[in-house]
Amino acid sequence: MNFSTMKAQCMSGGIASLRRVSNAIRFAGRSVSAHPSAWVSLRSFIRVNCGGSITIGKNCEIHPFSMLLTYGGHIHIGDNCSVNPFTIIYGSGGAYIGNNVRIAAHVMIVPENHNPGTDDIPLHLSGKTSKGIRIDDNVWIGAGVKILDGVCIGRNAVIGAGSVVTHAIPANATAVGAPARVVKTQVRPDVMSNESR
């Protein structure tokens, strides 16, 4: 083992130790669990309010100015995910994000809806519904996407920038627009090879 390799291993071990200590201090006494290998920017806004919890997996990157707010629900972010600047994820109805998910800047994930108001009951008193949001593994969410309550996005899906996702998106699909609609479904090479046998 040469000096450069030893130096790199010491540096990475030292960085992981610093992250572990930083996260432990930052989230002490709160229902926030961040794996020691996760990088959670000190400029990100991570809050457990009205109960709930936040779990951040291995090798994740939570970038500056992103916001994770529980509002009484749970936010789960799997391994190897990135949450880029100015993204907002609410946990009110439950937000589950699988492994290897890339979330670009300015994305909003809101697992809750207001009930419509009436002449007798104004909007702010009419209550809310919360079904939750599920984003499966290997999903890429483009900049400025809005994902609304009750949505499930399947594995390997791509959501184009600026889209508004109001309904389920199947696995291996590319969806764009407001409301988002599937414009392409990718055929995976391993599926093609199995079908041709």
Query: Over the stretch 98-114, which tens digit does the pLDDT of each residue have?
Result: 999 999 999 999 999 98
pLDDT for res 186: 86
pLDDT beyond 50 at 7? no
pLDDT for res 190: 63
Q: Provide the pLDDT confidence category of residue 21 given band limits of 50, 70 and 90.
A: low
**Which amino acid appears at position 166 of this protein?**
T
Active site residue 114: yes
This prediction's pTM: 0.83
> Would residue 4 count as lying in a domain?
no
> Would residue 69 count as lying in a domain?
yes
Domain that residue 80 falls in: 34-195
**Residues contacting 81, CB < 8 A, separation 6+:** 57, 60, 61, 97, 99, 100, 101, 102, 103
**Interval 113-131 mean pLDDT:** 89
pLDDT for res 17: 63
**Interval 23-30 mean pLDDT:** 71
In the three-class reduction of DSSP (H, G, I as helix; E, B as strand; rest coil), residue 65 is classed as: coil
pLDDT beyond 90 at 3? no
Dmax over Cα atoms in the chain, in whole Å?
Answer: 76
When the pLDDT of each residue in the chain is averaged and rounded to a whole number, the result is 88
> Would residue 26 count as lying in a domain?
no
> Would residue 17 count as lying in a domain?
no
Per the structure, how many domains does the chain have? 1
> Would residue 47 count as lying in a domain?
yes
Looking at residue 161, which CATH number applies to its domain? 2.160.10.10
> Would residue 18 count as lying in a domain?
no
pLDDT for res 191: 55
> Would residue 128 count as lying in a domain?
yes
The dihedral of CA 168, 170, 171, 174: what is its sign? negative
The rounded distance, in Å, linking the Cα atoms of 102 and 68 is 15
Active-site residue identified among 74, 76, 114, 124 = 114
Q: Provide the pLDDT confidence category of residue 20 given band limits of 50, 70 and 90.
A: low
pLDDT tens for each residue of 170-197: 999 999 999 999 999 987 666 555 555 4
pLDDT for res 175: 98
Comparing C-alpha atoms, which of 58, 35, 37, 55 is closest to residue 46?
A: 55
> Would residue 9 count as lying in a domain?
no
pLDDT for res 110: 96
